[in-house]
Structure 1
């Protein structure tokens, strides 16, 4: 079939007319020369603040972080960021970013597997680096996330990724850091009369806990035995018994937290993190006694109980800090909303938490809980140059304005689909505004 050259030319012109930045930006090239950011206020991430500071980095690693007066400019590309603020790249724990694109389109959802017990499932292999959501997250300073599966009793293992890569292998910061267990909800009949449906749910819960116990016992025995054939489910649980992997226990109700922690400890699990933890303050003494860290997911939420203060979710981070519980903050309302991670920390500041403590709750504290604090989480010499520069307070939605972002020293393109659409339609409506001067306006 003969195709007219005119149609081919028209098609090529149409393709070339599509703006490149309407798509997911191309991953940045490796850092090619030393860079020095100068004149900003440095928020290290560990509580320390340095006015009129400088941060230098080379080959993706931070080489200097301190007063501007002590910085060596020789051989550096100097970027003047005077009057701005330098922060560590923000870290979102417990997320389905890259696994969940469009809720109503099943083909774009890849965050759960069939079945109740899937410890061998690796969420990171399904992580989509070409997600349209990722650039919108980076634009507010979130540069890393914990890619986490959901569903069933044991949903699988999570990994930490950085948000500028060609594929999931390149994105990995630390792979398979822990196993995720959703503790079965307690069944409480508050109506008084026997309820067959609730009795059935209670029986299912008991069966799930019994099956979980059997799986953990089998895994502990399997770890000690010499096996000719590998059992992937049991092998994937090995790290729980020597502390090389964390168990992320998803539970909110205080009694469920206590029950779940005691249960897994009885089966030899060494390192436990409670995720969700809406009742963490109520069981703070238990968490502290058992050296349990918390990923708190409920800042922008309603109170759990009718007799709680309306601002209880907002002030829980402050209360956890006062109680001495290690914690990180998690924006869990939606995948698209992860860009609001800095603002839930800002809400905690408005309800008692110190501003640098709030920053740590989305940077260094998170890095410690995820086991990556030797590499990221604070702006310190020797760590990855994963850094954010904001013209205003990054925790304040009114002034947050990320002007520069670097991941492992690479300068990140901060364009995204939302910015493209804003520019597109802003130009459209400005062009449609009637003239305010000239003959037409006078008539």
Structure 2
């Protein structure tokens, strides 16, 4: 009886629809493909109606007006997408996507390491390509992400990945692109009951963190001049790129004084490239950011103002203020349910488009701008001949949650499945209740 019950159970499991699982990664493109008739949003602000987009072996061979496409169409697999919209694949910076599955279950969270100073930690090797969340994010047009560690003062190194792969080795687009530093927050007396001694104790702890951080960076700078053949120090060698510009220091800070203090600290110690992450007070220091050529990865656009005296729409209009000031910036999704909610990146941009940005500027903030800040714009971020064929096709406006409807998506020319666990459950219960 037990064996029979077991066999029945196994039979039921084997009959479960494959759509409930993570779809198999798509194979490499084998035949040239031509998309005809859609409106093309290049990603750099250009919009081309009645466009043609052709790609072969994962690279774009043409992206422009259909009237200007001269090759023989018979050589291509032609897909009619008339009336639809073509966009570059969205790029999500500063995310724990692939590092966290269920935030309430500790065993599925691999985003932080023990200790305060972990420059040698690599988020890439913890990136889980079998995450159930990845397909749900792709469905809304997010095709690349910067897997970013959390925790401590120096969290570790992020890497940029594409979201349809067998393993992290296949997924990597740019390994160890930068180091993430959580700037020690200013000590503020927020509790009236806190006495002077307790406040001083917290300030001393902060100053100790800053001294440790300065020592670490100074040692890393000096380590570069050590002779070849020395025994490698993984903590220090991981930071070497900060001083020659091959890696970016991602400075996580929100308050204005923290941003100024952190940027000046990094510059003083010889760090070449600094990008501020979070930066909710960036509107207070536009001149400082511009003068120091500091890029911004802006978080929490969908949030309440930080202070009672701020404008009610301050978070919404901050991208427009950065745009008007000529500051390099892009948008991320960081907030409640950070990992699962990252599929809403397009709608973050859509909100910004209603508060100071044009639709194309908002699109650039989640495509070409993050590609430039992350150093992958040679291949990604816009749809131009020679670049990667990483794009999405939608029947409506990708940035509007009412019309966003991705019908096709490609990563490096590979057409992958848009099915995911949520679409499976949707279809399952539509059938149960007789809905079409």
Q: TM-score range by the shorter chain?
A: over 0.9
The 10-residue stretch of structure 1 (322-331 or 222-231) with the greater mean CA deviation from structure 2: 222-231
Give the Cα–Cα distance (whole angstroms) in 1 for the partners of residues 386 and 74 of structure 2. 19
Shift of 1:105: 1.1
Is the aligned partner of 1:49 residue 2:51?
Answer: no
TM-score (norm 2): 0.96
Give the Cα–Cα distance (whole angstroms) in 2 for the partners of residues 82 and 196 of structure 1. 69
Give the Cα–Cα distance (whole angstroms) in 2 for the partners of residues 317 and 68 of structure 1. 33
Q: Residues 45-94 of structure 1: CA distance to partner in whole angstroms, max 9, x if unpaired?
A: 00011000010000000000011122231311111110000000000000
Give the Cα–Cα distance (whole angstroms) in 2 for the partners of residues 289 and 337 of structure 1. 34
Give the Cα–Cα distance (whole angstroms) in 2 for the partners of residues 132 and 28 of structure 1. 16
Q: Residues 8-46 of structure 1: CA distance to partner in whole angstroms, max 9, x if unpaired?
A: 753453133100010000000110100001100000000
Corresponding residue of 2:219: 218
Corresponding residue of 2:241: 239
Is the aligned partner of 1:350 residue 2:354?
Answer: yes
Corresponding residue of 2:127: 127
Which aligned pairs between 1:25-104 and structure 2 lie closer than 5 A? 25-71=23-69, 72=71, 73-104=73-104
Give the Cα–Cα distance (whole angstroms) in 2 for the partners of residues 70 and 328 of structure 1. 32
Give the Cα–Cα distance (whole angstroms) in 2 for the partners of residues 298 and 325 of structure 1. 18
Which aligned pairs between 1:23-422 and structure 2 lie closer than 5 A? 23-71=21-69, 72=71, 73-189=73-189, 191=192, 194-226=195-227, 228-333=230-335, 334-422=338-426
Q: Number of aligned residue pairs: give it.
A: 430
Shift of 1:242: 0.5
Give the Cα–Cα distance (whole angstroms) in 2 for the partners of residues 370 and 151 of structure 1. 21
Give the Cα–Cα distance (whole angstroms) in 2 for the partners of residues 24 and 304 of structure 1. 39
Q: Residues 371-414 of structure 1: CA distance to partner in whole angstroms, max 9, x if unpaired?
A: 00001000011111000101000000000000000000000100
- Please give the secondary structure, in 1, of the residue aligned with 2:283: coil
Select the structure of larger CA radius of gyration.
1
Pair 193,138 (structure 1): closer, same or farther in 2 beyond 3 Å: closer
The 10-residue stretch of structure 1 (247-256 or 68-77) with the greater mean CA deviation from structure 2: 68-77
Give the Cα–Cα distance (whole angstroms) in 1 for the partners of residues 254 and 59 of structure 2. 38
Give the Cα–Cα distance (whole angstroms) in 2 for the partners of residues 193 and 58 of structure 1. 65
Give the Cα–Cα distance (whole angstroms) in 1 for the partners of residues 322 and 254 of structure 2. 15
Give the Cα–Cα distance (whole angstroms) in 2 for the partners of residues 223 and 425 of structure 1. 60
Q: Residues 194-226 of structure 1: CA distance to partner in whole angstroms, max 9, x if unpaired?
A: 433322211111000000000011111111111
The unaligned stretches of length 5 or more in structure 1 are 432-443
Give the Cα–Cα distance (whole angstroms) in 2 for the partners of residues 9 and 203 of structure 1. 65
- Please give the secondary structure, in 1, of the residue aligned with 2:345: helix
The unaligned stretches of length 5 or more in structure 2 are none
Q: Residues 275-313 of structure 1: CA distance to partner in whole angstroms, max 9, x if unpaired?
A: 000011111100000000000002101101110111000
- Please give the secondary structure, in 2, of the residue aligned with 1:136: helix
Give the Cα–Cα distance (whole angstroms) in 2 for the partners of residues 293 and 208 of structure 1. 25
Give the Cα–Cα distance (whole angstroms) in 1 for the partners of residues 377 and 209 of structure 2. 35
Give the Cα–Cα distance (whole angstroms) in 2 for the partners of residues 103 and 7 of structure 1. 34
Give the Cα–Cα distance (whole angstroms) in 1 for the partners of residues 102 and 389 of structure 2. 32
Give the Cα–Cα distance (whole angstroms) in 1 for the partners of residues 30 and 52 of structure 2. 19
Give the Cα–Cα distance (whole angstroms) in 2 for the partners of residues 265 and 344 of structure 1. 31
